[in-house]
Homo-oligomer: A and B are copies of this chain.
Amino acid sequence: MSEEKGASATAEVKIVFTPSGRQGQVAKGTNLLQAARQLGVDIDSVCGGRAMCGRCQIDVGEGQFAKHGLISSSASLSEPSASEARYAEKRSLPDGRRLACQCKIEADLVVDVPATSQVHNQLVRKAADNRVIALNPPVRLCFIDVREPDMHEPSGDLRRVIEALQNQWPDRVSGEVSCGVHVLRALQQCLRKGKWQVTVALRGGNQIIAIWPGLKTQILGAAIDIGSTTISAQLCDMNTGDVLAATGIMNPQIRFGEDLMSRVSYGLMNEGGADEMTKAVREGLQQLIKGGAEQAGMTPEDVLEIVLVGNPVMHHLVLGIDPIELGGAPFALTVDTAVEMRASELGLNLHPGSMVYVLPCIAGHVGADAAGVVLAEAPQTRDDISLLIDVGTNAEIVLGNKERLLAASSPTGPAFEGAQISAGQRAAPGAIERLRIDPETLEPRYSVIGSDIWSDEAGFDEAVVNTGITGICGSGIIEALGEMYLSGIITAEGVIDGSLASRTDRIKEDGRTFKYQITDTVSILQNDVRAIQLAKAALHAGFRLLMDKMALERVDRVILAGAFGSYIDPKYAMVLGMVPDCPLDKVIAAGNSAGAGARMALLNIDQRQTIEATVRQIEKIETAVEADFQNHFVRAMAFPHKTDPYPCLSAAVMLPPRDLSDNVASDDNPGRRRGGRRRG
């Protein structure tokens, strides 16, 4: 008996973890979860080894593993404990799955840790944007057993809670642990209701921001992109990174002005106007988060962490800062670093411990949304040169690679969003979004948002019977102008050629100029062409200036961020000079990159450090003080533009226009995908 004991005390077994490949010798009988921790293998747990949370599920590798020189089988682990059996019965356990916390290692073993049981480096693939996000959430749930008070050794309840945290979650606690008053208020009742078992939400390793009686296994985070037009939110499980709900609303500030500058003016011209807009956007956030949480089957009280991005004006307004300084030179931001605060300080009525992290703005007109795009697209990690463009009232532009990053904004104005265009409108059902012109007949064909059927195809009239054809949106205008240029309706100088009126009655006199009529109510006027020329010239001059600073003639890839970017056809963008010359398949619509960046920062605190460090290093270029900006601007007014050779574009537009449009309209281009429709 004693001999056997002696033998078993020294007996060691070999264990290999996949996919990490970590391996080592451990004493026979070692708890599997503990063995994993000893070997630095990342297995999740909320309940701390009590067979309650089910986070530590693993698979046993069965068979012979030549590489590791061992034979493994389910018999290498102890039989399921009573607790494990109870968990399997109540919550169900997939076939072959075991709870690591309940297994003792009996013999050599290969253990596979599925992605859902990994904490750090866990990969989340979200169909919506195909992005990979490593997890290292700022807030972690920790279930603890708390020592009961003892009159012989008096101590406060909080002290015993912190002791329990330190003893039961030594890997998660760093530094002196504290908590807010709201936790103190709830503490005693939670402890007694949970019979001295509670779950705490630990933030940053040292702050208890929430407490619940018993076991709590899920909390939410919200990644929110505050656009001038729409606010969109992704509600995520903070433990798994899963997006449980994605919602959006119109920015309630819209009633104070459609575009950014009209909102800055509203604040300037109305006493308390900025405060009104702050109130409106915060109410919008509250409504959005509440809706998202409910969509995820939870409540606003479950939302513990929020990450915000937005352009500088939205950034300032949501923080309650009057954006007046952003409306005029020298365009000084109040704060150009990341900001963290309690959600309650923004008037949000969520969990009282809920915290908000706002990504840093980059410059006066390059916002936290651009920082989100940088985080998502990571140009600072790449050798090749990326050009990131987020088109809005101001285009936010970032250029560079791991050596050097520059940022600037261009005053494009709202023309690309359909404003200042006679028949222009926001992207909404009924708006023309695609347009082709037959170069011989000069007849247009088009499709509208809400339908995939072209105007010359059967069923079009039925498809638009509900919406009508209400106008033309930003991407529609860009295609229209591109096609008008390619079909010769407008000259290189941007003049609608009145002489063509003899060939088609689509060209009509319009005062002293001409217009191109698409439908009874939608025409492209000479003034519309001018508005787009000004906008595209500004955008062109912006990135051209940055390319000059880096002495670049070419870029390796262009990322068009935002919903609008998803709808711009790269070819037409290039025809107009909205992007530099580049192989068409390297012009990538990134969808809601800013929101993706926000989600990365939500789920991984390392990403916060990354973007803070990157933004610090970005060189901020103020286009208003750069003489070259004006020169580039003037030259970029033309179609496509006068100075820069566009070899890639030339190769493309040398094809017959019809063939070309078919080609572009196909789904070969991996950058063209459907995303949110409205411009954020």
Docked-complex contact A322 and B158, CB < 8 angstroms: no
Binary contact readout A329-341 vs B (1 if CB under 8 angstroms, 0 otherwise): 1111111110101
Q: Which residues of B contact A333 (CB under 8 A)?
A: 154-157
Q: Which residues of B contact A159 (CB under 8 A)?
A: 335-337
Docked-complex contact B188 and A151, CB < 8 angstroms: no
A49 interface residue (CB < 8 Å to B): no
Docked-complex contact B334 and A151, CB < 8 angstroms: no
Interface residues of A in 329-378 (CB under 8 A from B): 329-337, 339, 341, 345-346, 361, 363-364
Docked-complex contact A155 and B336, CB < 8 angstroms: yes
Partner of A151, one of B321, B330, B339: B330
* Distance in angstroms between the alpha carbons of A187 and B335 in the assembled complex: 9
* Distance in angstroms between the alpha carbons of A189 and B324 in the assembled complex: 10
* Distance in angstroms between the alpha carbons of A339 and B335 in the assembled complex: 30
Across the two chains, which residue of chain B brings its CB closest to A185? Answer: B320
A624 interface residue (CB < 8 Å to B): yes
A319 interface residue (CB < 8 Å to B): yes
* Distance in angstroms between the alpha carbons of A220 and B588 in the assembled complex: 58
Docked-complex contact A156 and B335, CB < 8 angstroms: yes
A180 interface residue (CB < 8 Å to B): yes
Q: Which residues of B contact A189 (CB under 8 A)?
A: 322
Q: Which residues of B contact A5 (CB under 8 A)?
A: none
* Distance in angstroms between the alpha carbons of A339 and B150 in the assembled complex: 22
A302 interface residue (CB < 8 Å to B): no
Partner of A339, one of B184, B324, B620: B184
A181 interface residue (CB < 8 Å to B): yes
Contact A329/B151 with A336-B156, A345-B181, A361-B156 known, Cβ cut-off 8 Å: yes
A622 interface residue (CB < 8 Å to B): yes
Q: Which residues of B contact A1 (CB under 8 A)?
A: none
Docked-complex contact B319 and A181, CB < 8 angstroms: yes
Q: Which residues of A contact B (CB under 8 A)?
A: 148-152, 154-159, 180-182, 184-185, 187-189, 319-322, 324-325, 329-337, 339, 341, 345-346, 361, 363-364, 620, 622, 624-625
Q: List the 6 closest A-B pairs by CB distance, nearest first.
A: A156-B336, A149-B332, A156-B333, A158-B335, A151-B622, A154-B620
User: What are 12 A-B contacts with C-beta separation under 8 Å?
Assistant: A151-B331, A151-B622, A154-B363, A154-B620, A156-B332, A156-B361, A181-B320, A181-B339, A182-B345, A185-B320, A187-B334, A188-B334
